[in-house]
Structure 1
Amino acid sequence: MSTPAISVVMGVFNEAAVLAPTLDSILAQTERDFELIVVNDGSTDPRVGEILAEYARRDARLRVLTQANAGLTRALIAGCAAARGTYIARMDAGDVMTPDRLARQKAVLAAHPEVVLVTCWTEFCGPAWEPLFVERGTQSSATAGDWIAQATTTAAEGYLVNGPSSHPSVMFRTAAYRAAGGYRWQFYYGQDGDLWVRLADHGAFAGIAAVLCRSRIFPDGISMRQGKKQRRLHDCLFGTIQARRSGASEEPYLQAAAQIRPQPSGSQTTTSRRKAAGWYFIGETLRRNGDPRAVTYLREACCRQPWQVKHWLRLWQSVRLANRPLPAGERHG
Structure 2
Amino acid sequence: MYVDIVSRMMAQEGNDVAVFVRDNHTSEERVSDHLRHIRFKAEEGEEYARLGYWAALAYQYYKVVCRQIEQEGAPDLIEVQEYNAIGYYVLQYKYLGDTRLQQTKIVVHMHTPTFELSRVNRTPEYRFPEYWIGQMEQYCIKAADGLVTQSEFLKSKLSPYADCPIQVIPLPYQFSYAENLTYQCGDYLLYAGRIEWRKGIVQLIAQMDRLWQEGCTTKLVALGGDTYFAPRACMLREMVKKKYAHRVEQGLLSFVDSVPPKELNRMMVQARAVVIPSIYENYPYTSIIAMSLGMPMLVSKQGGQAEQVLENGVNGFIFDWDDPDDCVNKIRALLALNKDELRQMGARAKERIQSVCSMEENAKMRTAFYNSVLEDAEPHTAYPFLNPQPKTPLPDSIDRGVPGMLSIVISYYNLGRTIEETVQNLLQIEYDNYEIILVNDGSTDPESIQKLAQLRAKYPALQIIDIPNGGLANVRNVGAAHARGEFLAFMDADDLVDPSYYTRCIHVLNRYENVSFVYSWLQYFEGADGVWTTFDTTLPYMLLANMLAAFAVVRKADFVAFGQNRIEMEYGMEDYDGWLGLVENGRTGVCIPEPLCLYRIRKDSMARGMNPACRMFLYSVLQSGHGQMYEQYASEVYNLLMSNGSSAVWGSPTQIHFPTGAYDVYDILEQLRNAHAQIDSLQQQIAAQQASRWYRMQVRYAHFVNNNALGRLIRFKLAAPIHWLKNLLRR
Q: TM-score, normalised by structure 1?
A: 0.63
* Cα distance, 1:111–1:56 mapped onto 2, change above 3 Å: farther
2:434 partner letter: F
* Cα distance, 1:101–1:60 mapped onto 2, change above 3 Å: farther
* Cα distance, 1:32–1:232 mapped onto 2, change above 3 Å: same
1:133 Cα shift? 0.8
For the residues of structure 2 that align with 1:76 and 1:203, how far apart are their CA atoms? 19
* Cα distance, 1:167–1:112 mapped onto 2, change above 3 Å: same
SS, match of residue 121 in structure 1: strand
2:447 partner letter: R
SS, match of residue 40 in structure 1: strand
Q: Which residue of 2 aligns with 1:159?
A: 544
* Cα distance, 1:181–1:134 mapped onto 2, change above 3 Å: closer
RMSD: 2.3
For the residues of structure 2 that align with 1:28 and 1:51, how far apart are their CA atoms? 20
1:230 Cα shift? 2.5
1:236 and 2:626 are equivalent in the alignment = no
1:211 and 2:611 are equivalent in the alignment = no
SS, match of residue 16 in structure 1: coil
* Cα distance, 1:86–1:171 mapped onto 2, change above 3 Å: same
For the residues of structure 2 that align with 1:54 and 1:220, how far apart are their CA atoms? 25
For the residues of structure 2 that align with 1:214 and 1:35, how far apart are their CA atoms? 20
Q: Which residue of 2 aligns with 1:22?
A: 422
Is the CA contact 2:509–2:516 (under 8 Å) kept in the aligned structure 1?
A: yes
For the residues of structure 1 that align with 2:600 and 2:566, how far apart are their CA atoms? 25
SS, match of residue 230 in structure 1: helix
1:56 Cα shift? 3.8
For the residues of structure 1 that align with 2:481 and 2:415, how far apart are their CA atoms? 23
1:79 and 2:479 are equivalent in the alignment = yes
For the residues of structure 2 that align with 1:216 and 1:122, how far apart are their CA atoms? 10
2:621 partner letter: C
Aligned length: 228
1:126 partner letter: E
* Cα distance, 1:245–1:230 mapped onto 2, change above 3 Å: closer
- Provide structure 1 residue ranges, at least 5 long, that are not aligned to the other structure: 140-148, 248-333
For the residues of structure 2 that align with 1:182 and 1:53, how far apart are their CA atoms? 29
Is the CA contact 2:623–2:630 (under 8 Å) kept in the aligned structure 1?
A: no
Q: Which residue of 2 aligns with 1:13?
A: 413
1:245 Cα shift? 6.1
For the residues of structure 1 that align with 2:560 and 2:461, how far apart are their CA atoms? 23
SS, match of residue 196 in structure 1: helix
1:190 and 2:577 are equivalent in the alignment = no
Q: Which residue of 2 aligns with 1:179?
A: 561
For the residues of structure 2 that align with 1:61 and 1:106, how far apart are their CA atoms? 22
* Cα distance, 1:107–1:52 mapped onto 2, change above 3 Å: farther
1:224 and 2:611 are equivalent in the alignment = no
1:199 and 2:199 are equivalent in the alignment = no
SS, match of residue 183 in structure 1: coil
SS, match of residue 17 in structure 1: coil
SS, match of residue 28 in structure 1: coil
SS, match of residue 624 in structure 2: helix
For the residues of structure 2 that align with 1:120 and 1:111, how far apart are their CA atoms? 17
Q: Which residue of 2 aligns with 1:136?
A: 533
For the residues of structure 1 that align with 2:608 and 2:545, how far apart are their CA atoms? 21
1:125 partner letter: F
1:243 Cα shift? 4.4
1:205 Cα shift? 1.2
Q: Render the CA deviation track for 1:54-88: whole Å, top value 9, x for unaligned.
A: 33444444111001111111111111111111011
SS, match of residue 47 in structure 1: helix
- 1:102 maps to which of 484, 502, 509: 502
Is the CA contact 1:40–1:49 (under 8 Å) kept in the aligned structure 2?
A: no
For the residues of structure 2 that align with 1:13 and 1:150, how far apart are their CA atoms? 29
Identical aligned residues as a percent = 25
SS, match of residue 152 in structure 1: coil
Is the CA contact 1:152–1:197 (under 8 Å) kept in the aligned structure 2?
A: no
Is the CA contact 2:496–2:599 (under 8 Å) kept in the aligned structure 1?
A: yes
SS, match of residue 521 in structure 2: strand
* Cα distance, 1:158–1:211 mapped onto 2, change above 3 Å: closer
Query: What does residue range 34-45 of structure 1 map to in structure 2 within 5 Å?
Result: 34-45=434-445
For the residues of structure 1 that align with 2:530 and 2:563, how far apart are their CA atoms? 33
2:544 partner letter: Y
Is the CA contact 1:150–1:203 (under 8 Å) kept in the aligned structure 2?
A: no
**Higher RCO (C-alpha under 8 Å, 6+ residues apart):** 1
Q: Which residue of 2 aligns with 1:312?
A: none
Q: Render the CA deviation track for 1:95-147: whole Å, top value 9, x for unaligned.
A: 111111111111111111110010101111234xxx5210022x3xxxxxxxx
Is the CA contact 2:414–2:449 (under 8 Å) kept in the aligned structure 1?
A: no
Q: Which residue of 1 aligns with 2:159?
A: none
1:48 Cα shift? 2.8
Is the CA contact 1:73–1:184 (under 8 Å) kept in the aligned structure 2?
A: yes
- Provide structure 2 residue ranges, at least 5 long, that are not aligned to the other structure: 1-400, 633-731
Is the CA contact 2:410–2:438 (under 8 Å) kept in the aligned structure 1?
A: yes
Is the CA contact 1:158–1:241 (under 8 Å) kept in the aligned structure 2?
A: no
Q: Which residue of 2 aligns with 1:251?
A: none
For the residues of structure 1 that align with 2:598 and 2:516, how far apart are their CA atoms? 22
Is the CA contact 2:405–2:486 (under 8 Å) kept in the aligned structure 1?
A: yes
Is the CA contact 1:136–1:209 (under 8 Å) kept in the aligned structure 2?
A: yes
1:176 partner letter: D
1:211 Cα shift? 1.3
1:180 partner letter: F
From the CA coordinates, give the structure whose radius of gyration is larger: 2
